[in-house]
Amino acid sequence: MAEVYNLPSLNLKVSPFLTEASVIRCVNMERDMIGAWKKRPGYTTYLGTANGNAIDSLFTYTQNNGTTFWNYRASGGIVYSSEQGTGAWIITGNGTMTAGTPVMSGVSLTSGSNTLMIGDGVLATRHTLTGTSFTDTTSAPIARGFQPYQQRMYTIGTASSMFWSNVGTATDWTNDSSSVEIPGPGRLHTLMKINDRLVPTKNYGNMYRWDGFNMVDMSTNLGPTSPVSIGTTEGFAFWLNRLGEFSYGGDKPEIISNAIERIIYNDAGEGIIGTTFDNAPGIVHRYDYYLSVGTVTDDLTDETLSNAVLSYDFQLNEHRVYSFANRPTAWLSYRDASGDQQLVFGAGSQVYTFGGTQTTDSGATIESVLEFVIHGGTPGKDKDWKYCTFIFNPGCQAKIQIAAENTFTKGKKKWVDLGSAEDGVVEYKPSGLTSKLLFVKIYEASRNARFHFYGFSYEANVINRR
């Protein structure tokens, strides 16, 4: 007899036979408490569709009075704003940008009025103090990526130069302003501020560190391949590289995606497609990093995920995989007028609010799956399966299937329905059920309350054969 009430997270890097029960598929699930799982929340529409064009960027601007802010969307080459995040989308004055190109933004931290800067690397750099209309920053270079640092605004140009403004202002790029050429192959790609240092990176992945006086070559090519994949919090940055997801706290980039490496790239060529590495959007919200990567297939279960969002919980060092009804093309985490942190994303021409009490993806059902394999500590021997007990929250609508097999091959699993988990406990006492492995699939696609799965117990006798 064995009891498992600490089901591990998804980890496709290690052998599924190293633990009592290994999760091999986890779609649209998140942690309830440590050891338990629950279905993820859904999302609902946020404001209207503005001009009906695809959303390239989302960003926010909070004035230093601490109360007034605007949320922005860039779609079809036009920047729209929503005052306090609740007003209708309205066209922002002088907000015409390049359609299909992300708009980068940054807010100065100088004394006096803080200034929002925007640029797309094609048209003139612009700024606003009012939130409702932009002014061309005529002395600033055409730029993309802005970071306030040491009372100046820094930005990267269209080649390999990093520029900075006059001290104490983000709009004067003539007086006491200069630039530095970043060496190495490629052009400047992103600009981050981590651990009180600026970190410019190039599109070849090479990274540098700047303290206001010295430029240090970090001797790595593990920088971001997608400039919009960067999420930051608590002095750490997260991003996507063609070798995986990385984190950075000021020393060297460290890979964090080993557990889901098969989803990012695999021998079957069914991971993230090449161009997505260059434009996948990401964000940090609270203690989770979200990354939208399109359609992917891992080569262990051979299951395909559409509109996949990879979620990394950096408190627990665990990965989750979501499949949305709509593919996110831009993210924004912002603090609303009530002081609550909200997560929104753009997909198509609509912006959505993710999380809370939502139980559907804007009306579409959320299909969640938790699949794991049990081997009883002896994966190479046949077992006579005696009974299984699964524990849920009462009243849920989850269902269970099992498959007694000797192979991981998707097409050879013969699933047997055990029924609904509505009563909170599902017991199964098979007769004559033998195999080396027992696969368990918990699934649900309701529009109602999210289900919680706490763990299971089972008994099996090893069949010793001569």
Q: Which residues contact 228 (CB under 8 A, 6 or more apart)?
A: 57, 102, 279, 280, 281, 282, 330
pLDDT of residue 373: 93
CA-to-CA dists, residue 365 to 41, 58, 339, 453, angstroms: 11, 26, 30, 19
Domain residue limits, the chain = 2-40+368-462, 46-354
287-296 confidence digits (pLDDT tens): 999 999 999 9
Confidence of residue 379 (pLDDT cuts 50, 70, 90): confident
Sheet holding 197-202, edge to edge: 188-194, 197-202, 208-210, 215-217
305-329 confidence digits (pLDDT tens): 999 999 999 999 999 999 999 999 9
Q: 279 φ, ψ to 5°?
A: -140, 10
CB 270 within 8 A of CB 280: no
Q: Which residues contact 186 (CB under 8 A, 6 or more apart)?
A: 160, 202, 203, 204, 206
pLDDT at 269 over 90: no
Q: What is the mean pLDDT of residues 223-239?
A: 95
CA 197 to CA 150: how far, in whole Å?
A: 10
Length of the chain: 466
Tokens at 368, concatenated: 């969640």
CA 306 to CA 322: how far, in whole Å?
A: 9
Q: What is the mean pLDDT of residues 205-225?
A: 96
Q: What is the mean pLDDT of residues 69-96?
A: 96
pLDDT of residue 111: 64
pLDDT of residue 126: 97
106-149 confidence digits (pLDDT tens): 999 876 668 999 999 999 999 999 999 999 999 999 998 999 99
414-434 confidence digits (pLDDT tens): 999 999 999 999 999 988 889
CA 45 to CA 181: how far, in whole Å?
A: 44
Q: What is the mean pLDDT of residues 362-384?
A: 92
Tokens at 276, concatenated: 């997505």
Q: Which residues contact 428 (CB under 8 A, 6 or more apart)?
A: 387, 388, 389, 402, 418
pLDDT of residue 187: 95
pLDDT of residue 267: 83
Tell me the pLDDT of the chain averaged across its residues. 93
Q: In angstroms, what is the C-alpha Rg of the chain?
A: 25
Q: What is the mean pLDDT of residues 254-268?
A: 92
Tokens at 290, concatenated: 């979200």
Confidence of residue 333 (pLDDT cuts 50, 70, 90): very high
pLDDT of residue 300: 81
pLDDT of residue 119: 97
pLDDT of residue 432: 83
SS3 category, 278: helix
Confidence of residue 193 (pLDDT cuts 50, 70, 90): very high
CA 74 to CA 59: how far, in whole Å?
A: 9
Amino acid at 426: V
pLDDT at 1 over 80: no
CA 332 to CA 382: how far, in whole Å?
A: 51
CB 165 within 8 A of CB 140: yes
SS3 category, 334: strand
Long-range CB pairs of 108-114 (<8 Å, 24+ gap) are 108/148, 108/153, 108/169, 108/170, 109/148, 109/151, 110/148, 110/151, 110/168, 110/169, 110/170, 111/168, 113/63, 113/64, 114/63, 114/64
Q: How many of the other CB atoms lie within 10 Å of CB of 385?
A: 22
Right CATH number for 46-354 from 2.60.40.10, 3.40.50.720, 2.130.10.10, 1.10.3720.10? 2.130.10.10
pLDDT of residue 466: 58
- Predicted model pTM: 0.94
CATH architecture of 2-40+368-462: Sandwich (2.60)
pLDDT of residue 55: 97
Q: 262 φ, ψ to 5°?
A: -60, -25
128-160 burial, b at 16+ Cβ within 10 Å, e below that, comes to bbebeebeebeebbebbbbbbbebbbbbbbeeb
